Amino acid sequence: MTRVKICGLMEEQHVKAASQADAIGFVFAPSKRRVSVERAQELSRLANNDMQRIGVFVNASYEEIDEAVKTVPLTMVQLHGDEPDELIRRIDVPVIQAFSIRSPDDVEKLNNSIADYILVDAPGTDYRGGSGHVFDWSLLENVNLDHSRLILAGGLNKDNVQAAISQTTPFMVDVSSGVETAGRKDEVKIQQFILQAKGDSMERTQEKTIDPVGFFGRYGGQFVPETLMKAVKELEAAYEDAKNDDEFQKEYHHYLKEYVGREQPLTFAARMTEAWGGPKIYLKREDLNHTGAHKVNNAIGQALLAQRMGKRKIVAETGAGQHGVATATICALFDLDCVVFMGEEDIKRQQLNVFRMKLLGARVESVTKGSGTLKDAVNEALRYWVTNVEDTHYLIGSALGPHPFPTMVRDFQSVIGKETKRQILEKEGRLPDAIVACVGGGSNAIGMFHPFVEDASVRLIGAEAAGAGVDTDRHAATLTKGSEGVLHGAMMKILQDDAGQVQEAHSISAGLDYPGIGPEHAHLADNGRVTYEAITDDEALASVIEMSRLEGIIPALETAHAIAEAKKQAQSMTADEVLVICVSGRGDKDMATYAEKLEGLS
């Protein structure tokens, strides 16, 4: 993937906004973006450890360069003047030599450079070091040039960077004025540029290899047995139709309001804010939904769609039982037949939910195969669907499965993020600095994140389950430890062995105990828009106690992972910042686990 450098940084917030880039640049030569070595040192401290820190010089002495390298410290040096080769050789860190490109002759010269990388730019105007103008990229095509040492600069912006990358396939793209508004860096533009440069480059590669329908970058698709293709295609068409039908949307929102009890508050958590000593903490209260978690948002949407398609039988899988309960609830409401597959292990852990489903009139099928958890329940639900596809809708509970499920589930769950956005703007007059949500398959997180994905100033963090620890073999940290693979109808990230056999996941939380993560999350992880951190069982349990006692809200075990991660995030945030946690569900269902694990709690 092409790397991204954001150059000419002068202010703290711009360094932060560039956190998903690979390199940041400080200009030490005469320029309106010039900074002192001391200032660069201060700014550099805000960047991630693995960020390249590049100093830009024009005809500086070796001593000046060396002092900056050691003080900031810089990991690379970029030279825009007429620096002799002897100077380049003396510099300890990798050197980038810049060239202005006007004609094919200029391209010829590039190969003579002894520097590690060559930066190509349009000819400068007032100062040396780039003008912000685009040069003719085609000059770089069909010439003998090592593109693995090529850095492309000059007039790049979010709108042309894709084209630039596909035409020149550089090692890195370098942007400065293209991410500025009125001569000053712009956080939103910085993040948009990074997203365009990184995210969409993957989509382009993808288009060459696979039909892009239903894909998020390289992930997604419809990898199902032929028997299901008809149902999947029908669903795709029916959802597309329903999505654009005002009546359908009206009905869906009617049930969200009158039956689920939306909208849910965005609660200011005063005592958590005080206890953590960092940003203002807000809680998005999905725990207050009817049935006790976010799952019902999606169950209502899909049940309405199933009826629209003339299907009155529903099959679902469930892990923690929250999706099963939500589905059973909606099936009772709409008088639909309901069968729920649930792993034997989860049935033991979530007895209360099993009873709730039965009380609601659903048939709960115990799955004894494999690890007896969510993965195996999905397998059985898929088999059931294959056999009963003509009259049955598979009501998938997470942002998983073949297209259109990941998109559809995300859309139905996006009510979480949409409400949050409106509410935080009312309360704080601005967007939050960070949002944390837990991820198993990823439905509450994608619903929360999706409306914020384009808001580059909002950091999005997913908390996945580290179980007994990511370095043990008992975890469900798919993004930390997983790799690309096909499971349950989609290309996504999964936990698997070298032979491509899917591994069993482990988490104390039944809802996160799944060895895959939905395709959109896999894509957002790859393009860096969302960062994913892993939280252990013990950390989650500690957060259950903390939140219960500070806010009087007993969270679900799944949610507790988000709280634990939020606490970590809060450590490096300040009092003028805002952090939102998605409280995906309440902890009633987990009381047996809490009673056992927190025995002797005083």
Q: Which residue has the tokens 């954001």?
A: 6
Give the number of other Cβ atoms within 10 Å of residue 72's Cβ: 23
310 binds other proteins (CB under 8 A): no
Find the catalytic residue in 31, 419, 584, 589. 584
Q: Which residue has the tokens 């009206």?
A: 250
484 binds other proteins (CB under 8 A): yes
* 584 has catalytic annotation: yes
262 strand-pairing partners? none
Q: What is the CA radius of gyration of the chain?
A: 26
Site string for other proteins, 215-234 (x = CB under 8 A): ------xxxxxxxxxxx-x-
* 577 has catalytic annotation: no
Selected binder of other proteins within 358, 363, 383, 549 (CB under 8 A): 383
500 binds other proteins (CB under 8 A): yes
Stretch that binds other proteins, among 52-60, 141-149, 381-389, 530-538 (CB under 8 A): 381-389
Stretch that binds other proteins, among 175-183, 486-494, 521-529, 586-594 (CB under 8 A): 486-494
Cβ atoms of 497 and 471 closer than 8 Å: no
Our CB check for other proteins shows the closer of 300 and 502 to be 502
Give the number of other Cβ atoms within 10 Å of residue 240's Cβ: 13
Selected binder of other proteins within 323, 488, 493, 529 (CB under 8 A): 488
Q: How far is the CB of 210 from other proteins (least distance, A)?
A: 6
DSSP string, 531-576: EEEEEEHHHHHHHHHHHHHHHS--B-HHHHHHHHHHHHHHHT--TT
User: Binders of other proteins among 68-97, rule CB under 8 A?
Assistant: none
382 binds other proteins (CB under 8 A): yes
Our CB check for other proteins shows the closer of 346 and 533 to be 346
131 strand-pairing partners? none
213 vs 205: CA distance, rounded Å: 14
404 binds other proteins (CB under 8 A): no
Q: Is 437 helix (H, G, I), strand (E, B) or coil?
A: strand
Selected binder of other proteins within 8, 217, 485, 585 (CB under 8 A): 485
Count of residues interacting with other proteins (CB under 8 A): 42
Find the catalytic residue in 317, 380, 520, 558. 317
Q: How far is the CB of 466 from other proteins (least distance, A)?
A: 22
Our CB check for other proteins shows the closer of 321 and 516 to be 516
User: Binders of other proteins among 347-376, rule CB under 8 A?
Assistant: 369-370, 375
Length of the chain: 602
487 binds other proteins (CB under 8 A): yes
122 binds other proteins (CB under 8 A): no
390 binds other proteins (CB under 8 A): yes
482 vs 430: CA distance, rounded Å: 35
445 vs 558: CA distance, rounded Å: 11
377 binds other proteins (CB under 8 A): no
Q: How far is the CB of 228 from other proteins (least distance, A)?
A: 8
Phi, psi of 491 (to 5 degrees): -80, 125
410 vs 413: CA distance, rounded Å: 5
578 strand-pairing partners? 280
Q: How far is the CB of 486 from other proteins (least distance, A)?
A: 5
CA 569 to chain centre: 16
Our CB check for other proteins shows the closer of 48 and 483 to be 483
Q: Which residue has the tokens 């997203």?
A: 195
User: Cα dihedral sign for 436, 440, 444, 450?
Assistant: positive
Per-position b or e across 185-204, b if 16+ CB within 10 A of its CB: bbbebbbbbbbbbbbbbbbe
Our CB check for other proteins shows the closer of 210 and 425 to be 210
* 61 has catalytic annotation: no
Q: How far is the CB of 236 from other proteins (least distance, A)?
A: 11
- Chain residues binding other proteins by CB under 8 A are 209-211, 213, 221-231, 233, 369-370, 375, 379, 382-383, 386-387, 389-390, 483-489, 491, 494, 496, 498-503
Q: Which residues are catalytic?
A: 295, 317, 584
